[in-house]
Each structure stands twice: as structure tokens, then as C-alpha cells.
Amino acid sequence: MKMVFKKEYSRDIDLLVEGFWAESIEYGVFKKMGLKNKLPIPIIFYVNKGLVEIWENKSSFLALVKALKIKAKQSATNYQKFFQEYDKKLIKLQTYFKNNKLTSKKEFLKVLKLIKETGTLFNFWYYVAKEVGFVKGLKTEALAKREKDSFYDQSDKFIRTSLRKLFPQTKNRETVVTPLDFKKFPNLRVLQERMKNFVFIPGHYFKTETLSEFKQKNTQYIFQEEKVSLVDNSFKGQIACTGRIKGKVRILRLKNEIKYFKNQEILVAPMTTPEYLPAMKKAAGFITDEGGITCHAAIIARELKKPCVIGTKIATSILRDGDIIELDADRGIVKIL
């Protein structure tokens, strides 16, 4: 059966939490609702030079949202119990997030199980906040959750810290550890190879190879790639906060690069998270490959009143450290000078 995948975004995030999320989309949510349904493979993860590319099967996500809407309409009160269960598990997780003193693999695996369960429940409110057509009361509560929730960012930080502590060879390679690795943990050489190119489909596929090699061997997976190119040495994005500046580019693809950022450079990243905030305060402006008007970069740009263009798709692949550019966020145009 042919399956179509489109690249939605790239993240500097660990494959443990991402793998749990993919599993919850494929069958975890349905199991939680007492249904036997199982969706087609929803996500393919590809590690490209340390950054995790997320390729989504839209048909799976449409089917998931349809099922969630039906469940919500059947009984909003019972559906709301999933919100409450999520809150309880998140409170339990906070004791580990705030005071990470794990000393054993056994305890780490116990917390990972809790993260997986919490991540499944996350879907019940996240898609209510994200999609239209849900019961009004649920929508209001879900939107309020989205404003303050940081479950995935906190989970990612906790997992990285724990891996470095319990498995020292993972330092700067924490993102390529998968849920399948704990019976026989990978050595340094294996982790280094995965950081270059690695394809991971939770429950289906697991191999150190390029995406091109994977495509050639697995023709049932179709990848829709959106091509954007330069026009007159310029490219466009969506305006997140107006302003017009000229300056020097600093590319931040990975979180461990944030420490190199200098005052008044123009921050260019696939996207930003709360961990980017110290660099964002120093920056003259921001440009991202991804995101919409409510993404993290857009919100912080408006708070700091700094020019910002988001959703360019190609900024990190076209620009280089040290490039002098004009960021015209009044028109949503980035020009290489």
C-alpha cells in the first residue's frame, strides 16, 4: 500500500519522546478510547546531521482527528477525564523534571514509561486546541492548556540530562537514542553514525542510512518535497513582527550551538523553543524555516519587539554563518547582500 509523507518540520529533539508520540498516534490513542483501530504509519523520522526531520502521513492525522471529534461529541464530560488524567500524570512527572537525581537505568525506564503514558494523553487536548470542530467548552480548556504547557520541552531536557548521566557515551548524541536501545545499548561508534543519517519508524523500521537509500529500497513510501528557491538573491516568509534591519547571520540548527551566539547577530534556526531565549534576547532579529503566527519565535519576537520572519522553509539551508543580510520583516523578505 502506497503511503504519502510530507516533511512538516525539523527539530533538535530526542527520538525517545518522538518515538513514543508516533506510537501513540498510530495506536495508543485508540487503545485509550477502547477501540481496536490502528492507523497507517503516521510518521517517519530521519536524522540529518543531528537534526530530526519529521515526515507526516496526513491521512493518518486526519483519521486521528476524526476519531477524537467523534469521541468528544459522544460525551464531552467523559472526554474531559482525559484532560484530568493528563494533568495528574504531569504533576507526577514534575517531581522528576525539577529534581533529576536518577541513579539507575531501572528508575529511568520507569520515568520513560510515565512520559509515554502522558504523551498519549497529550493528544486528547492538543488536537482539540489545534483543530476546528470540537465542543466549545473543551476547546476553551484545551487552548488554555496550550498557552502554558511545556511537556515535550521538559521531557526532552530531562531525557538528555538522564542519558548523559547514565550513558556517558551519549553526550551530544542523546537525540539518536530510541526506545529499542535499552536491551543492548549502542556504543559510541553507532551513535556517531546515527547522528549523520538515520531512518526510524517506531515499530516498523530502524536503520543507519540516508533518506535517499531508504526511498530506493522502500518504494511504498512516497515523499512530497516542497521546493523553494532564491529569486534575486532573496526569499520570502511570513511576517511575525515588523521591522527592517541589516546584520550578520548566525545559524543555530542544534541547541548546543546556542552558546556561540553573539550580540546583535540575526538568529536563523529551523524553529525556536524556550531554550533559545538567551540568544533571542541578544539577537537583532529572527528568521525560521518553520512555524506559524502563534509559534514560539513569533510570540517572543512580538514580546521583544524584534523583526521576525517565519516559515521561510529554506533559511538554514541557504544562509551561512557570517552572511550579511537584510531582514525586511515589513514585507516578509530576506535578502542576501
Q: Are residues 84 and 116 in the same domain?
A: yes
Last residue of a domain, one of 193, 222, 251: 222
169 and 33 co-located in one domain: yes
Answer whether residue 8 shows pLDDT above 90. Answer: no
Tell me if 61 is assigned to some domain: yes
| pLDDT tens sequence across 249-286 | 999 998 889 999 999 999 999 999 888 999 999 999 99
pLDDT surpasses 90 at 85: yes
pLDDT of 328 higher than 90 = yes
Which pLDDT score is estimated for 35? 86
Output the CA torsion 129→134→140→142 (10° steps).
Answer: -40
79 domain residue, yes or no: yes
Has residue 227 been placed in a domain?
A: no
Any domain includes 26:
yes
Domain count across the chain? 2
Whether 131 and 239 share a structural domain: no
Residue 277 lies in a domain: yes
153 and 300 in a single domain? The answer is: no
Is 33 in the same domain as 156?
Answer: yes
321: in domain: yes
pLDDT at 295: 87
Q: What residue has cell string 511537556?
A: 151
Q: For residue 230, what pLDDT is reported?
A: 81
Q: What is the arithmetic mean of pLDDT over 212-240?
A: 90
In a domain, 229, yes or no: no
Can you tell me the mean pLDDT for 215-240? 89
Residue where one domain finishes, among candidates 222, 249, 274: 222
* pLDDT classification of 148: cutoffs 50, 70, 90: confident
d(C-alpha 284, C-alpha 215), whole Å: 40
- pLDDT for the residue numbered 272: 92
Same domain, 262 and 185: no
Mean pLDDT of the chain: 93
206 shares a domain with 175: yes
Measured CA to CA in angstroms, residue 48 lies from 27, 31, 213, 251, 329 at distances of 27, 32, 13, 16, 29
- Same structural domain, 216 and 286: no
Answer yes or no: do 147 and 245 share one domain: no
271, 200: one domain: no
Question: Structural domain of residue 301, as residue ranges?
Answer: 234-336
Residue 228 covered by a domain: no
Percent of the chain with pLDDT over 70: 100
Strands (E), the chain: 3-11, 43-48, 51-56, 197-201, 205-207, 221-224, 234-236, 238-241, 244-251, 266-269, 285-288, 308-310, 324-328, 333-336
**What value, to the nearest 5°, has the Cα angle with vertex 133 and ends 132 and 137?**
100
CATH number, position 318:
3.50.30.10
Neighbours of 300 (CB within 10 A): 21
For residues 115 and 53, membership in a common domain is answered with: yes
**Which of the listed residues 200, 222, 244 is the one where a domain comes to its end?**
222
pLDDT attached to residue 241: 96
Nearest to 160 by CA among 278, 259, 15: 15
Question: How do residues 106-130 score in pLDDT, each as one tens digit?
Answer: 999 999 999 999 999 999 999 999 8
pLDDT at 292: 85
Mean pLDDT of 133-147: 90
pLDDT tens digits along 166-207: 999 999 999 999 999 998 999 999 999 999 999 999 999 999
Burial class (CB in 10 A: 0-12, 13-18, 19+), 106: exposed
Answer yes or no: is pLDDT of 44 > 90. yes
Concatenating the DSSP letter of every residue in 188-250 gives HHHHHHHHHEEEEETTTEEE-S-HHHHHHH-TTEEEE------BTTEEE-EEEE--EEEEEEE
pLDDT of 23-35, one tens digit each? 999 999 999 998 8
* First and final C-alpha spacing in the chain: 48
108 & 191 share domain? yes
- The whole-number average pLDDT for the span 35-50 is 90
